[in-house]
Chain A
Amino acid sequence: MLRPFRTLALVALLTLGVAFAQTITIGVSIPAATHGWTGGVNWWAAETAKRLEATYPNLRIIINTAGSAAEQADDLEDLIAIHAIDALVILPFESDPLTEPVASVKDRGVFVTVVDRGLARDGIEDIHVAGNNPGLGRVSAEYMVEALGGQGKIVVLRGIPTVIDNERVAAFMEVIEGTNIEVLDMRYANWNRDDGFVVMQDFLTRFPEIDAVWAQDDDIAIGVIEALAQAGRTEEMFVVGGAGMKEMIKRVMDGDRLVPVNVLYPPAMIATAMEVTALRFVSNVPTLGRYILDSPLITPENAADYYFPESPF
């Protein structure tokens, strides 16, 4: 006699459960699309939000973009006060200025996922999805060593003076140092096409003999390639960029001699972070911890796997 009653109770409970199924709000805070890579981050965030909201009806995703670290800290206040978020996915503009703001979000019981660069203090975030900056430098250098047979002259174009840039360059140099490859000079090109063009023009003026260019970033690489074309020196060297911009992946895919490979630093890491964070709320699978995404070498053989023609980056 108990069985029908139990079933009924279960059904009632379930109904109640659905009626009160709590909407989970996930706030996503990312830098504004000021250059190619962050443009890719914005696109992937928007695409992933659409996908997640369609798959899990009780998820609500709010994306905020910020033009500076200070603006991003203000955004966090709004996410808490106005949207009452349950979880925060943040790609911090800079590590140090955002450490305390994110810590205070965490103190209010919000689940925190940090993407890309870490915070200055350990133990704040529940999930960390990171790109591998030293890996990008190391993989690029290993390719250079292999392609040049361990000797030659190269120039390096750096990004913006930041921890990210330092990590990449330090790891790159660590591999280069044991070889007969000579780094003629390094200059900042600020992850910018125009600066890449200008800095490369001056390298070409200065050095009559260059075997390879490490541009580190695909925006810079595009400027470098134009400068090489202008000087008529595309035949004498090759260029290694980085990040996986679709135009550069396309060149690798097509077997362009000037751009033989690329090294991935995927803007889609924001999508990984959002997916894992959502899983925490819609399932019981273990999610907490640290995820480090690889920076693999993209070659003509595997380029198709990394080519996303519909993405802006």
Chain B
Amino acid sequence: MSAHARPGGFDTRVQAALADPLLKLAIDRTTGTARTKRAAAVAAWPGFAAGRDLGRDIKDHVIDNLGHYLVEFERNALASGAKIHWARTGQEACDIVVAICRDAGARTVTRAKSMLGEEIGLPHALEVAGIERVETDLAEHIIQLAGDPPSHIVWPALHKTREQVAALFQSHHHDPGALASVEAMVASARRELRGRFLAADVGISGANFLIADTGAVCTVTNEGNAELTTTPPRVHIVTAGIEKLIPSTAHAMAMLRLLVRSATGAELTQYTTFHCGPKRPGDLDGPGEFHIVLVDGGRTRMLAEGLAEMLRCIRCSACLNHCVVYRQIGGHAYGGTYPGPMGSVLTPMLDGLAQSQDLPRACTLNGQCQEVCPVAIPLPTLLRGWRDRLWRDGLEPAPARLGLGLWRFLVLRPALYRLASGALIRMMPAFARGGWIARMPMAGGWTRHRDLPRPPSRTFIAQYRSRKPLP
């Protein structure tokens, strides 16, 4: 189950989101900038299309040879002095992290933003274990203060406007000062967090890439908080999904080019760090213990169930930023850890199809997500796959099933089809005023929000038949 099951059903959450003008403003500001910057970055890189093919091929190669690269990564990470832990489920992963924290006598942990951590419910597990968690990513800090789950995989606090953030800081920070500008807000967060970085017993991060031939873990941030999370504490724990593997540092470079441009439109993030093993003799800093928790969490099941292409995902969020549905309803309405198109593919796998059946359906299949995906994941095809499953499992609601059944019955019988469509368009003008129908029985889904054009008196086929003498 998702760590952040949201209250209400999908429709309720959608209604709440659509009724919130501040949410829309916040979404438009951030995704609008992201789209513009990504487009510029892609346009400025003539090799983008080739780079995208390469990225797809690298990920597919690793997915096809997952066992090989997992073993290679483990061997090299162990040689660097890291400890490797294998977790079949999110629960197992949380138990491992909590046990490491307890062994280290940890009271406070700092955490650098990790969507996998959200997926496995790590914030909740730490809370249950009585371990204080300090989120160090600025946006994660904001939503920790607000008590919200992330609403976006790159900008977790995307749903908060800067005005709302100022109010949050004003009431929670010890020394907020005048929060008149974004800079002042950042400075206040820095004052708040700086001491916490140095006082933490354990630092927990995710991974953008696990590099098989060195055993290193690569993270990218723009704030440097991952470095401050992983370096000063005695213990550094990495939690990572097994799909983060890539063969070598050179491959990481190929992926970074795609990831950063697709996410923020920059060529590189401010910080790209390779964490390899614990502090060695003679090192000035670094953690005494370095743990890597490798999480399956349904990923091998995705391989088995026709979702292997989804394991290419590098969590760049381009599909969210370009999705017409995400841009209207925001991340929380989706109800799972991951929102947007990639979330609508992943959540049924992670939380169960019955609970998240609206997600694959609430999509226009317009294909823009696939177009902008830096590893060419066929998201619409995968969403259609979930719809096939919903239909097979009998989860399609009765009215839709019935309607489609009737449609199918007629479509397979052309004479009846002509009769029925002729009757329908003869009936419809009774509801029309002039050329438009503003309300009609059974058509509320359409006419609640838009008018329906009045059909002609006869169908095309009927008109064509009478125009042309039959042979």
Check if A and B associate.
Answer: no
